[in-house]
Structure 1
Amino acid sequence: MLAQEPGALPPDASAKRTAATPDDTLAYTVAVEPVPLSDPEGKKLAEIVVTSYTLDRTKPALRPITYVFNGGPGAASAFLNFGGLGPKRLAFGNEGDTPSDPPAMVDNADSWLAFTDLVFVDPVGTGYSRSVGGGDAERNFWSVQGDAESLSRIVAKHLASKNRLMSPVFLAGESYGGFRIPLIAKTLQSRDGVGVRGLVAISPVLDFSIRQGADSSPLTWVNGLPSLAATMRETKGPVTRADLTDVEAYATGPFMADLMKGPRDAAAVERISAKVAELTGLDPAFVKRLGGRVDVRSFVREFRRGQGKVGSAYDANVTAFDPEPTAGRSNFDDPVLDGALAPLTRAAVDFYARDLGYRVDRRYELINGEVNRKWRWGDGQEPAESASELREVLALDRKIRVLVGHGATDLVTPYMESKMVLDQLPAFGDPERVALKVYPGGHMFYTRDASRAAFTRDVKALYDTAAPAE
């Protein structure tokens, strides 16, 4: 028998499993396999690992199928697989969760598997996926356009190989994954011959230009203020979008007007500093020193500084102790993102190795910083955006529906950024085709039980409308 090359991926693996929900017991097949990508001459360039869940008692050829991507760039799909969408889930990312918690999985009562088969995709450099050629091959995959083209090809190849070309196709993505799914949908639609019925973007950035130029543009501060206020208000209980209408009105009205006057207008600075301090609960003198412009790093440190704690940019009410509580500045790990690294990595490796017998002789890359550092955002001067592709796929296919979900206390991708982009879309025959929903929680709001359940209900309603049962 030939020896396996070091780091080579093992053969495909699958298993039969069940998961209990309040209404049903889901019997399903879980499978993991590498999907190869080759150049036009047939030379293998990469192996993309996909993990799929297929409900056993249905006719898969006609059942909806959803391809799921995480963000980063450089993050594996384990966050969504084990955090909220798959049939098994792990508790992480909430106040009280720690890196040393055992990665114990439980049945996910809110799994999307109840209404769609699921395929979790790990792009090159994440999870166990890898490029084969190295160097130039990685450059091709680690770019906005190369990423969209390669992942579109993966979706098309997987659909064909599994005889799922008749299935209604949906795409879901978190953070940068939410940015990439309009690009993938457009590429599928125009190049690979696959129409997409719906998109679910979770905490996305749809247009990076909105968050640039903070020294001269008010948009960063306007879009961030409602999420800062939500953090303060959540100390008294869960916060919904309806609880923030007054903050949205202030941010887009008097706040923006005063920001436009600039720091030389002392009266304007005085007004916004007093109001921002009131809305955020921060020390008024501290807010005034910042001219009413409170950046994320300062907020997550100052909001809990009296308790010797720092918050997470991903969910500002999830905290850890400040390692340097008396220092003027402090460097600290993010309580959510860094806190989730150990339990999620352990859970993923254990899942593949023990549950599926899929053992890989290299590190599982939950978050690959090299991918992020080397990412190529484009050759022009314009910041990357996928709102144009979203507009184009909606215009061409009147049946596509879109749901954008955000957490109220997410400071990494504030929900107001998406509101600004979506408000500029034409109705395309029906303004209800595109919906923005805001849930209690942060960037990964689906880790909260109530928010996960509400989000799943909203997603199922989209599927029922976009792909009604025959």
Structure 2
Amino acid sequence: MKKNLFIIIVTTLFAINITAKEQTKQESKAIPEARMSVTQHKGKFNGHNVSYQINAGDSHLVDKEGKPKASIFHIAYTRTNVKNAEKRPLLFVFNGGPGSSSVWMHMGLFGPKRVVLPSDAERVGAAPFNLKDNPLSLLDIADLVFIDPVGTGFSKPLGEYKGKAFWGVKEDAEILAEFVRVYITENNRWNSPKYLVGESYGTTRAGAMVKELQEGWGSIDLNGILLISSIIDFQTGDFTEGNDLPFVTFLPTYAATAWYHDKVPNKADWEDLSQFLNATRDFALNEYATVLLKGALATPQEIQNVVEKLHAFTGLKKQYIQQSDMRISEFPFMKELLRDQGKVVGRLDSRYLGEDANVVTDQFEADPASYAIDGAYTAAIQHYFANDIDVKRTEPYHILSGEVFGNWNWLYGSSARSQGFINVTPFISKGMRQNKDFRVFVANGYYDLATPFFATEHSMNHHGIDLNRVTMKYYEAGHMMYVHEPSLKALVEDIRTFILP
């Protein structure tokens, strides 16, 4: 009897062991192989002949137990015809969303090739699109790594991990900070000057990554961050009940948009856009902000003065302003400004115009600035993959993922967007205090109704930011100011000066 029991126990343990091994084997099979395409190229950038290598593929990151947790697709550009490569600046570049791949700044600003769009905000239409060499790329002075966060591009969770493990302000910053650590280790770049470059929500990500990289022992100290169309304090941009700040911070962009579309009543009285916007800023911070703060305590005369000036700066009808209680949020503005013409203005770039089937609604069908350029960038990156850098994959390259955005965790410690507002400005300020070489570059589009420039100015003027180490630049374009050729050239020159002062 005891012998039979022993046999049963041994047999059971053996079966369990076999099952466990088989399960481990199956899990191992479920982990896709990391693929990497390596190609050699030559180009002429800023008048310099540059030989460079492109590594386009996956980096598998593991958890504390050594189990694969995330595959990060990235495209790294490294100059090869230089003597001291380790001292070259290294830029980690990502876009926003959250849920966006890095295609926009890759194919529009920094990459060796870019898709060329009309500078005058004209609709682009269908293929073929104009993809050409980009002599403005920074490859002569810096190496570039374009990163697609988990759930975007070809990046994905691995093994037992799900996307939600990485879809959040803190979670996202942690995994991308880990990618930076692994990359500089594998490529011997610990002693290189390092910068984070983010656009839109990517600027929020950059601020959160400053905390993850620089705080605590074993830190990775940065030389700076570049914030393209930034949103680092969401109180400045979220139109929620009881939050009057965005009505103030959006006003100068409303004014710029009205100026562009010739809706400013007395436009001839102003010397130029700069003078006009300075007056708008002054009004927004003083008379307008005061009346909003006073609420029911504001006198009829104060209210009438604000209504008159809001009309003068935005071109909106006085009756509309009064009926809106002097509080016009972004989407109603986009519909109202040119309603009499049956047009709507774009959100990402208010120079763009669209037409809706229903003119009387208070929100557009879709952003004219988005559908004007999306197809061109999507086709450009796919064409570039197949024809230039030997990346041939049949799975979809996720340009902008609604799944990621819809499942985003806005909690960061005790701070929640639903209970307050995400604000990474204090992380940037602390980073500056703890690192004397840490600098900030900010690029603002006058016609950006997604991340307005006056909101960024507000953020930079609070939370102890050292303004002596902040470079603020402005361009007469929108969120992706690089679609506008004059702005692209000015932006690249400004970034060059910032990196190599």
Instruction: Tell me whether 1:38 sits opposite 2:80 in the alignment.
Output: no
Instruction: Tell me whether 1:451 sits opposite 2:487 in the alignment.
Output: yes
Aligned to 2:184: 159
Contact 2:338 2:344 in 1 (8 A): yes
One-letter amino acid of the counterpart of residue 133, structure 2: D
Aligned to 2:48: 24
- RMSD over aligned CA atoms reads 2.5
Q: 1:246 aligns with which of 279, 291, 299?
A: 279
* Equivalent residues in 2 for 1:27-106, closer than 5 Å: 27-58=51-82, 59-92=84-117, 95-106=121-132
Contact 2:149 2:155 in 1 (8 A): yes
Over 3 Å counting, the alpha-carbon distance change for 1:98 and 1:264 in structure 2 is: farther
Contact 1:186 1:393 in 2 (8 A): yes
Compute the displacement of 1:422 (Å): 1.0
Q: 1:233 aligns with which of 237, 259, 265?
A: 259
How many Å separate the matches in 2 of 1:409 and 1:239?
A: 15
Compute the displacement of 1:101 (Å): 4.1
How many Å separate the matches in 2 of 1:72 and 1:13?
A: 27
One-letter amino acid of the counterpart of residue 64, structure 1: P
Q: 2:475 aligns with which of 425, 439, 446?
A: 439
Aligned to 2:197: 172
Compute the displacement of 1:436 (Å): 2.1
How many Å separate the matches in 2 of 1:201 and 1:143?
A: 19
How many Å separate the matches in 2 of 1:36 and 1:242?
A: 52
Compute the displacement of 1:305 (Å): 2.3
Where do 5+ consecutive residues of structure 1 fail to align? 466-470
Aligned to 2:455: 417
* Partner secondary structure for residue 61 of structure 1: helix
**CA deviation map 1:309-354 (0-9, x unaligned):** 21111111111222323x4445411112233322211211221122
Contact 1:99 1:339 in 2 (8 A): yes
Contact 1:409 1:440 in 2 (8 A): yes
One-letter amino acid of the counterpart of residue 317, structure 1: R
Aligned to 1:468: none
How many Å separate the matches in 2 of 1:273 and 1:14?
A: 60
Aligned to 1:182: 207
Over 3 Å counting, the alpha-carbon distance change for 1:405 and 1:30 in structure 2 is: same
Aligned to 1:401: 439
Aligned to 1:272: 306
Contact 1:83 1:92 in 2 (8 A): no
Contact 1:91 1:97 in 2 (8 A): no
* Partner secondary structure for residue 90 of structure 1: strand
Instruction: Tell me whether 1:284 sits opposite 2:318 in the alignment.
Output: yes
* Equivalent residues in 2 for 1:327-406, closer than 5 Å: 327-329=360-362, 331-378=364-411, 380=414, 381-406=419-444
Contact 1:405 1:436 in 2 (8 A): yes
Contact 1:93 1:339 in 2 (8 A): no
Over 3 Å counting, the alpha-carbon distance change for 1:399 and 1:264 in structure 2 is: closer
Q: 2:135 aligns with which of 88, 98, 109?
A: 109
Instruction: Tell me whether 1:299 sits opposite 2:351 in the alignment.
Output: no
**CA deviation map 1:145-175 (0-9, x unaligned):** 1111110010111111111122111110001
One-letter amino acid of the counterpart of residue 483, structure 2: T
How many Å separate the matches in 1 of 2:125 and 2:62?
A: 38
Provide the TM-score with structure 2 as the length reference: 0.85
Compute the displacement of 1:50 (Å): 0.8
Compute the displacement of 1:28 (Å): 2.3
* Partner secondary structure for residue 105 of structure 1: strand
* Partner secondary structure for residue 336 of structure 1: helix
Compute the displacement of 1:75 (Å): 0.3
Contact 2:55 2:76 in 1 (8 A): yes
Between structure 1 and structure 2, the one with the greater Rg is 2
For these two proteins, the number of residue pairs brought into alignment is: 458
* Partner secondary structure for residue 101 of structure 2: coil
Where do 5+ consecutive residues of structure 2 fail to align? 1-27
One-letter amino acid of the counterpart of residue 392, structure 1: K
Provide the TM-score with structure 1 as the length reference: 0.91
Over 3 Å counting, the alpha-carbon distance change for 1:285 and 1:454 in structure 2 is: same
How many Å separate the matches in 1 of 2:425 and 2:288?
A: 26
Compute the displacement of 1:243 (Å): 4.5
Contact 2:482 2:488 in 1 (8 A): yes
Contact 1:82 1:90 in 2 (8 A): yes
How many Å separate the matches in 2 of 1:102 and 1:285?
A: 46
Contact 1:209 1:383 in 2 (8 A): yes
**CA deviation map 1:179-230 (0-9, x unaligned):** 1112212222235532111110111111113334644333111101000101
One-letter amino acid of the counterpart of residue 288, structure 1: Q
* Partner secondary structure for residue 32 of structure 1: strand
One-letter amino acid of the counterpart of residue 119, structure 1: V
One-letter amino acid of the counterpart of residue 375, structure 2: A
